[in-house]
Structure 1
Amino acid sequence: MTLSMFQRDRIQRQKKLHEERGDHCADIKLVGGLGLSNFVMKKGVFHPDEFAAIWLARWLVLNNGLYTGKEVMDIGCGTGIQGIVAGLYGAARVYFGDVSTLALENTQENCAQYGILDKVEIVKSDLFEGLKKRNADMIIFNHPFFDAKPTPGDTIEMAMLDEDGKIFRRFLEDAKPRLHPGGTIVMPFFHFAGETNDPGRHAAKYGYDVQVGFHHEHLSGLQESVSIYLLRSLEHFRK
């Protein structure tokens, strides 16, 4: 898929925002007065406070019954926000994985700040490669949305771009065996990115039941229309 002029512009705007901010801390508002104070976001790690990630973090707070007392895996964890929210609001154990050493350092710093180091593992991992001995009741993956090839070494582009859905499809193929029976995969999606990496369009082909857990329409901002998909293995339903 060739990106449109508007999609390319959106990607550049997001990159510029990250470059201008650099390393910084922010107070992230979740729901009902809850939040994450002084959340650390490093330059070179995708910042979650303006994008689909913040909708996902809020959804996780409101739906903590899905993971309370259970094991959660945060794939491509970045700053660690999703797994940290899960750890703070009920998860018994959280496994974080990312290919970026800087992202893992960022996650480590945030986990220490919020006092959850005793219930987490933080591992360098290309999807599940570094987490081979770990399964979970919930797997969270805020995957790259846009169908384009990232510049080698550009960690922000790597967080946004996935040419031909290679990472997305590899995840769908590899994730089912990593779920405990009855487990759930949670994936957000920004619809402006197009259909190539949309779980709602493709996950059923890989043997998943797909439900929309949340949808938000907004007419302005860097990311307007966002969905959160819940994927469950059809193999588990048949057993």
Structure 2
Amino acid sequence: MDFIELRVTAPADLADILIAELGQLSFDTFEENEQGFCAYTTEDAFDKEATQAIIDKYQHWPEGMPTAESRVITRQNWNTEWEKNFEPLVIGEKVSVRAPFHEARPDLPYDIVIMPRMSFGTGHHNTTALMIENQLTVDHQGKRVLDMGCGTGILAIMAVHLGASHVLAVDVEPWTAENAADNAQENNVQDKVEARLGDITALEGEAPFDLILANINRNVLLDDMAAYYRYLQPGGPIIFSGFYEEDLHLIREAAEREGFRYQSHRVQNHWVSAIFTKPE
């Protein structure tokens, strides 16, 4: 299967908005750069008209109008594409996120090696970094964890580094589930991370989890909120991300309607990660 790269040029504040809107389509991988960003989706899922409609909507943006060009990238050339742009990253002054060809950071307590295979979540996007920062504040020791919308598996790997006993990592895209499994093995946590293909229905028959990580998008979070409540142990935390700051009130209203209690949230470039808990 081949992929579409959408190369967008836009002012920084508009780029964040465009990423949020394109994330509501089929785009699930984003790499930001000085000119704007690149967004990726599969060729069969690419809706050219809907994508152009989003770009056209902001043609009168005060700081400058956006432009977008698309091209096809064959699957075998994907590694070449991200290797050109993937720089090592430090999150929360504690977590090193790098590719196998980068040097390790022994001065940091946590080291995560990621090989993205057209999967969202290298840590460079604000939502992934925010999720990890929130993970650092939550007790994972001996916990059974669910990672919904796992992407590269970076959050599942982080969970094991923080002491989780088992992580179920779920994603709707076949290559993403494969990538999460590969990255778990790359980080020597394959015995504690199970990668599974599917959506929320893939959890049928599962016992409630001690902790849930859900970095997806606003619409999926809203649609699956009741299921998250059902699959979380009383007293357990759930960490959300994948939505824009202006949508926090929608997530909070839906979560509290199910019974979750709001705890805190972080913001980075208008993106949000929020922590809620299920009452005892």
In the other structure, the counterpart of 2:170 is: 97
Name the structure 2 match of 1:32.
93
TM-score by length of 1: 0.72
Which amino acid in structure 2 is aligned with residue 58 of structure 1? E
Q: 1:46 aligns with which of 94, 104, 120?
A: 120
Counterpart of 1:139 (choices 208, 212, 233) is 212
> 1:128 Cα deviation (Å)?
4.4
Equivalent residue of 2:217, what SS?
coil
Distance 1:204 1:190 in 2: 17
Q: Is this contact kept in 1: 2:121–2:154, CA < 8 A?
A: no
Q: Provide the residue aligned with 1:233 in structure 2.
A: 278
Q: Higher helix proportion, which one?
A: 1
1: CA distance, partners of 2:117 / 2:204: 24
Alpha-carbon deviation of 1:203?
1.4
**Number of residue-to-residue matches in the alignment:** 199
Q: Which runs of 5+ in 2 are unaligned?
A: 1-13, 24-29, 32-36, 41-70, 100-113
Give the match for residue 171 of structure 1: 224
Partners of 1:10 and 1:209 in 2: how far apart?
25
Conserved in 1, the CA contact under 8 Å of 2:236 and 2:277? yes
TM-score, normalisation: structure 2: 0.62
Aligned residue number for residue 185 of structure 2: 112
Question: What corresponds to 1:63 in structure 2?
Answer: 137
Counterpart of 1:77? Answer: 150
Which residue of the partner structure matches residue 267 of structure 2?
216
Distance 1:132 1:111 in 2: 24
What SS does the corresponding residue of 1:118 show, helix, strand or coil? coil
Between the aligned residues of both structures, percent identity stands at: 20
Displacement of 1:190 in angstroms is 3.8
Q: For residues 10 and 123 of structure 1, what CA distance do their matches in structure 2 show?
A: 26
- Deviation by residue 1:96-130 (Cα, 9 ceiling, x = unmatched): 11111111011011100100011121111212424
Separation in structure 2 between the aligned mates of residue 184 and residue 141 of structure 1, nearest angstrom? 11
Give the direction of change, closer, same or farther, for the CA distance of 1:95–1:10 in structure 2 (3 Å limit).
Answer: closer
8 A Cα contact 1:18 1:47, kept in partner: no
CA change 1:112–1:171 in 2 (3 A) is same
User: How far apart, in 2, do the equivalents of 1:28 and 1:108 lie?
Assistant: 21
> Tell me, which stretches of 5 or more residues in structure 1 are unaligned?
1-5, 146-164, 218-223
SS in 1 for 2:223: helix
RMSD of equivalent CA atoms: 2.8
Query: What amino acid maps onto 2:141 in structure 1?
Result: T
Q: Which has the higher contact order (CA 8 A, sep 6+)?
A: 1
* Structure 1 residue 8, shift from structure 2 partner: 4.3
